[in-house]
Structure 1
């Protein structure tokens, strides 16, 4: 099945409703979406913590409705119907434009991989079924910070930069795993003062992918943004502090402009901040502390915090199915290795990654993609072509003998 066949067979996906239920120890949020004959139940479970301000839940609906508007993208991409029909609530024209842009650019890699050539105007539209507009929250008096932790070097650097405000900080982890839990603990926090979210995709999604429905990357950082501001509401925190760097602004493919990291870009950060200010709450703020830095700058700072070197992980392959490893064979592993190589000794790098990646000639294609020899970068969260080349120049100056992989491109 291809995009055009599926789009013809499925004219719309419906955002039916959302429900939020509190029990003694958790908050459970369910979203119901309908695509043709398929009903999808998307679930979020948030264990209650001692620092929650549950009195703020009085304003939860506007936060949760908007969160549901981005979570639907997981199911929308199965068939990319022309219309997203809103039965759970209504949005104004400016809100529709925000989400149209977010879906179109956030699915840039998805469209590239699936050979979908279509304009933003043609791609989708949001359709109200009533005038049930959710009132903007007027709550004020928020203070303190939420820091999402992904287990990689970026959020570690943010935690270290904010350690002087430790008493004001709460970490946020989605689907906790080894590296995220270890990071929180090494940074001096613990799981008792960490917000945990257990996010459960409807299993029918994977079944349909196996049957030939469309699959591909979705803008997870946009979902994290909406999750973050809801967590700010229930913990009475003012700032959701991300760890997205300037390098995220560079397109993965220069020709189409597709950017794997669109929802980490400054463009999205501005759009989202304006949206929250206008439609959700004016007192809660979302921004990236590392926005003015490049990946290579962050790597230099991270290299100084050796207590994290054995526990951080940025490899998507190694983290699949609950894993907590560096695979040593993917473009993300190679990229992180190159970023750290100017600042760490070879033995330190081998202790982290398990081998010397710059001697692995099977990674040559990835190196060409990372350096711009090939026009399309790997569809991963990696830095700019220029800073990869800058790091390679630093490695050449540092090493007595140029590593094999680098010799192959020089």
Structure 2
């Protein structure tokens, strides 16, 4: 039997806020549900723009079921697509799943086929969307820097999250603005099968998934822009596999941002904008901006291991994973040491057991970790700064890697790299008026 994956036509009930997304993988049937806030207008829910976005959302969320077997043939049952939308979906299933393919040694690039009815219309009628911002909150430093930037530039925004937990809930509480939350329920049979022999498992493009869900809320509840918090470092890949660069953070990259922004604009007649507010900045620059505000110190976390199912019932930072190490590293040049130790609970740069992880981050051994961490040269540049920093230069890890750091890169290259980290890029798609206000505050 030739294996296939089919995305069935999704449904949405505005009375209950429930969307049902059915999928078929060979002889297996799955249904995923999304529970959006109640109170959606039935006419808006029946609009061409919402119907288009609902179909595209079903296609993107399908990656979670597709990857069980990763067949070559994908069918969209009754979901009409333009040529541009076909390219978008294939990109999600190829590059969005790039890490999944690399880690399972599956060659799929350029080999997937997508069968769907043709949609000859170029753009849907534009819904009337008020000038309001939907701001996804991840519970980490990045989206909270966006909160600070939007607040100080006078932009109204609503926090948004899918399946909020742990640091997301406590961060939104600290923000103090009523949020929009969506409950996503994966089919339990998919989760069960993913643990069995004969089925694959692995990374999916969560930013793409959550962005599509956000687009449904934007149209239903009246927001004309979705503002992400993805930094320029997210565009750097991890390894080359199957003839192309594979990036753990692909759906946070600038290339994908442009692709999904066009897709959402065309689906809504140009009414819905999508861009990242932090695209001009390196991770180090974002860390420096975070130090301007301390009200989130006790509630945020960028540690993926410590997103609890029900609130913060444990340490926010495990202190052992590459994500903890990277965030500690980029904060250290800019934040007072005592504040750092209060946030993290201990000095991660003074524990010899962490040396190997920090070496990987700085490109001194191994490969860039499969984590949402910044550029290798950026990490090396931050280490260089710490070798000359009164608070950090005597710490065990800094002393241990200093000689190798200088030997591999040279002081001049590291100095230039740090200067580059703190220089804002013009390669972004923030609306000009907002970009000017943000730049003035972020000096």
- Asked if the contact 1:54/1:234 (under 8 Å) is kept, the reply is no
What's the CA shift for 1:37?
2.2
Instruction: State yes or no: 1:199 paired with 2:184.
Output: yes
- Asked if the contact 2:14/2:41 (under 8 Å) is kept, the reply is no
Please list every run of 5 or more consecutive structure 2 residues that lacks an aligned counterpart in the other structure.
Answer: 403-443
**Which segment is superposed worse, 137-146 or 210-219?**
137-146
Instruction: State yes or no: 1:74 paired with 2:59.
Output: no
Work out the CA distance in 2 between the residues paired with 1:296 and 1:159. 18
Instruction: State yes or no: 1:182 paired with 2:170.
Output: yes
Q: What's 2:13 paired with?
A: 21
Q: What's 1:399 paired with?
A: 390
Work out the CA distance in 1 between the residues paired with 2:156 and 2:295. 23
Deviant stretches of 4+, over 6 Å: 132-135
Q: In 2 relative to 1, CA 42–10 (structure 1 residues): closer, same or farther, beyond 3 Å? A: farther
- Asked if the contact 2:206/2:251 (under 8 Å) is kept, the reply is yes
Instruction: State yes or no: 1:238 paired with 2:224.
Output: yes
What's the CA shift for 1:90?
2.2
- Asked if the contact 2:230/2:252 (under 8 Å) is kept, the reply is yes
- Asked if the contact 1:56/1:236 (under 8 Å) is kept, the reply is no
Instruction: State yes or no: 1:148 paired with 2:136.
Output: yes
Instruction: State yes or no: 1:358 paired with 2:349.
Output: yes
What's the CA shift for 1:92?
3.0
Instruction: State yes or no: 1:121 paired with 2:110.
Output: yes
**Which segment is superposed worse, 322-331 or 144-153?**
322-331
1:3-36 per-residue CA deviation (whole Å, 9 max, x = no partner) reads: xxxxxx661011122111133xx41111000112
Work out the CA distance in 1 between the residues paired with 2:360 and 2:328. 15
- Asked if the contact 2:195/2:201 (under 8 Å) is kept, the reply is no
Q: Equivalent of 2:263, from 275, 291, 314?
A: 275
Q: In 2 relative to 1, CA 125–299 (structure 1 residues): closer, same or farther, beyond 3 Å? A: same
Q: What's 1:220 paired with?
A: 206
**Which segment is superposed worse, 285-294 or 347-356?**
347-356
Work out the CA distance in 2 between the residues paired with 1:55 and 1:186. 35
1:234-273 per-residue CA deviation (whole Å, 9 max, x = no partner) reads: 1211111110010101112257511011100110011111
- Which residues of 2 match residues 282-321 of structure 1 at below 5 A? 282-319=270-307, 321=309
**3-state SS in 1 of match to 2:95:** helix
What's the CA shift for 1:288?
0.5
Q: How many residue pairs end up in the alignment?
A: 392
Q: What's 2:323 paired with?
A: 332
Q: In 2 relative to 1, CA 204–320 (structure 1 residues): closer, same or farther, beyond 3 Å? A: farther
Q: In 2 relative to 1, CA 10–366 (structure 1 residues): closer, same or farther, beyond 3 Å? A: farther
**Which segment is superposed worse, 91-100 or 163-172?**
163-172
Work out the CA distance in 1 between the residues paired with 2:336 and 2:317. 18
Please list every run of 5 or more consecutive structure 1 residues that lacks an aligned counterpart in the other structure.
Answer: 1-8
1:41-87 per-residue CA deviation (whole Å, 9 max, x = no partner) reads: 111111237xx666522322111111001000010011111111111
Q: Equivalent of 2:375, from 384, 388, 392?
A: 384
- Asked if the contact 1:155/1:243 (under 8 Å) is kept, the reply is yes
- Asked if the contact 1:65/1:88 (under 8 Å) is kept, the reply is no
- Kindly report the root-mean-square deviation, in angstroms, between the aligned alpha carbons of the 2 structures: 2.1
Work out the CA distance in 2 between the residues paired with 1:310 and 1:10. 53
Q: Equivalent of 2:81, from 64, 67, 91?
A: 91
Work out the CA distance in 2 between the residues paired with 1:381 and 1:234. 31
- Asked if the contact 2:355/2:397 (under 8 Å) is kept, the reply is yes
- Asked if the contact 2:129/2:219 (under 8 Å) is kept, the reply is no
Q: In 2 relative to 1, CA 153–17 (structure 1 residues): closer, same or farther, beyond 3 Å? A: same
- Asked if the contact 2:386/2:398 (under 8 Å) is kept, the reply is no
- Asked if the contact 1:142/1:284 (under 8 Å) is kept, the reply is no
**3-state SS in 1 of match to 2:388:** helix
Q: Equivalent of 1:46, from 30, 33, 36?
A: 36
**3-state SS in 1 of match to 2:9:** strand
